[in-house]
Structure 1
C-alpha cells in the first residue's frame, strides 16, 4: 500500500474511521489486531448479556421519579434513556477493554504509523511492551483522573429533576464522544512520548473533527458485532489522523514531550 495515497489531505472524523477500516485490512496489520479484537469480543459479549437482562427494570425505575404532570415526557425520554444507558455501558466497558488492551493497541498504532510513513518509530518487540507496562498503566490512570470528575458531573445531572434529567443524556453523549477521541488518539501520541496535557490541547484545536470521530465510535460501540471490531478500527483511524495532522506540529516542539 502506498502511504502517499492513504493520506492526501485532512479528513473528517467519519473519514478517519473509514480510513481505519481500510488500514485494518492491510496484511501487515492483521496479526496486531487479533489480541485487541479477542479482548473486545469477550468484554462486550459479557457486558451486553448483563445489560439486556436489566435495562427494562432500570428505565422503569428512572421513570417513576418523574413528576406526575410530566408523565407525557416518558414517550420522549424512553428512547433517549435507552441510548444513554447503551452509550454509558458501551463507554465503561470499552474503557475497560482499552485498559486491558492498551499495550497491544499501542503496538497496533505503532505498526500503522510505520505503514503510513515507512519510518521506524521504536525498536520495541513483544518483550519490550510488557516491560513498558508500568508507564502504559500510568498513562491510562492519567486519562481516568481527567475523565472521572467530568463523568461524575454528568451523573449528577441525571438526578436534577426535569431540566437535568432532560439535558443529561445529551451532555453525556457529547462528553463520551470527547473521551473516546482522547482514548484512541492517545495511542499514537503516547508512542512518541507526547505529554497527556499536550495531547488534549492539540486535539482541542480541532474539536469538531475529534468530537465527531469520538461520537461515531461511541455510537458504534452500541451496535452488536460492530462493537467487537470498532476498537482496532479506531486505533488505526486515530493514527492516520496523527500522521496527517498532528505529528509534525507536535514533534517540532520538544517541550511537548514527556521528560
Structure 2
C-alpha cells in the first residue's frame, strides 16, 4: 500500500487542538440536524451504555473492599494513614476503571453498531464530496478487522493504565496530573478507534491510522480528548457516540487534506 498522504498542519498546536475539538461540535450539529442519523446511532450506544453503567456502578459499590485488597501493606498502619492510602487507592481504581470503561465502551459499541455507524460515517462523507479512493469492504471482513483492531487498542490501553493506577497513589500528583494524562491517553485511543470506519473505506488499516493521526497530533488529541470528556458525563457516551462517529469522519478528511465544506447540505 502507498504511504498515506497527510495534510501539512498550518496553525499553532493550541489552535489545532481546539480545531480538533470543534470537529466533535460539527459532528454533533450534523447529527442533530438529521433525525434518521440519531435513530441509527443511539440504539447500539444505549444498549452498551446500560451494561457499562451497571459495571461501573458495581465497581463504585465495591471500591472500598477493592482498595483494601490492593493495599494489604497498610493493614497495620494507623487508622489515619491507612484510610488516606485507601482513599487514594479507591480514587485510582475508579480512575483506571473510567479510562478502561470509556475505551472498552467505544470498542464494544462500534462492534455492536457497526452497520449503523458505518452508514452514519458514509452519509457524512457524502455531504462533503464522498470518499476518495473508496474500497469495497465486505461486511464480515470489516467486522473481523474492527474487532481485532479494537481488542488490540483496548489491550494496549490497559497496559498503559496500569502505571497510571500506580501513579494514583502519589499524593497530589495522583489526583491532578494523572487524570490529565489519563484524558490525553484516553483521547488518543478514542480517536484511533473512532476513525476506523472512514480509514477502512480507503483501504487503510491501524498502522496507517497511527501514522496519519500522529502527523497532526494536536488536532487528533483535541478531537479525542473532547470525546473522552463528554463520555465521562452521565449518559454522555450514549448521546454523543453517533456525533463522535460523524466527527471522526470529518477528522479523517481534515487529516488527509480532503474537503470539509459541505457540498450536499
**Residue 202 (structure 2) pairs with residue 192 (structure 1):** yes
**Residue 30 (structure 2) pairs with residue 23 (structure 1):** yes
In the TM superposition, structure 1's runs of 4+ consecutive aligned residues that sit over 6 Å from their partners are 120-124
Q: Which residue of 1 is the match for residue 143 of structure 2?
A: 136
| Distance (Å, rounded) in 1 between the aligned partners of 2:131 and 2:196 | 19
**Residue 46 (structure 2) pairs with residue 41 (structure 1):** yes
| Distance (Å, rounded) in 2 between the aligned partners of 1:150 and 1:50 | 18
Within a 5 Å distance, the mapping from 1:49-198 to structure 2 comes to: 49-62=54-67, 65=71, 67=74, 68=77, 69=81, 71-72=83-84, 81-117=93-129, 119=130, 131-155=138-162, 158=165, 162-163=169-170, 166=174, 171-198=181-208
| Distance (Å, rounded) in 2 between the aligned partners of 1:157 and 1:71 | 21
Change (3 A) 1:74 1:174: farther
**Residue 20 (structure 2) pairs with residue 13 (structure 1):** yes
Unaligned runs of 5+ in 2: 1-14, 260-265
- How many matched pairs? 234
Q: Which residue of 2 is the match for residue 205 of structure 1?
A: 215
Question: TM-score, with normalisation over the residues of structure 2?
Answer: 0.72
CA contact (8 A) 1:173 1:215 kept: yes
User: 1:158-204 deviations in whole A, cap 9, x for unaligned?
Assistant: 35894599476555433221110111122212221123211211101
| Distance (Å, rounded) in 2 between the aligned partners of 1:59 and 1:208 | 38
| Distance (Å, rounded) in 1 between the aligned partners of 2:163 and 2:208 | 29
1:104 CA displacement: 2.1
User: 1:236-257 deviations in whole A, cap 9, x for unaligned?
Assistant: 11112222331449xxxxxxxx
Pick one of 204, 228, 231 that aligns with 1:221.
Answer: 231
Change (3 A) 1:196 1:82: closer
Pick one of 232, 238, 244 that aligns with 2:242.
Answer: 232
| Distance (Å, rounded) in 2 between the aligned partners of 1:80 and 1:73 | 10
| Distance (Å, rounded) in 2 between the aligned partners of 1:58 and 1:189 | 39
Unaligned runs of 5+ in 1: 1-8, 250-259
| Distance (Å, rounded) in 2 between the aligned partners of 1:183 and 1:177 | 10
| Distance (Å, rounded) in 2 between the aligned partners of 1:82 and 1:146 | 20
1:232 CA displacement: 0.7
Deviates more, 1:197-206 or 1:98-107: 98-107
Q: Could you say what the CA RMSD is over the residues aligned between the two structures, in angstroms?
A: 3.5
Say which SS state the counterpart of residue 62 (structure 2) adopts.
helix
Change (3 A) 1:202 1:248: same
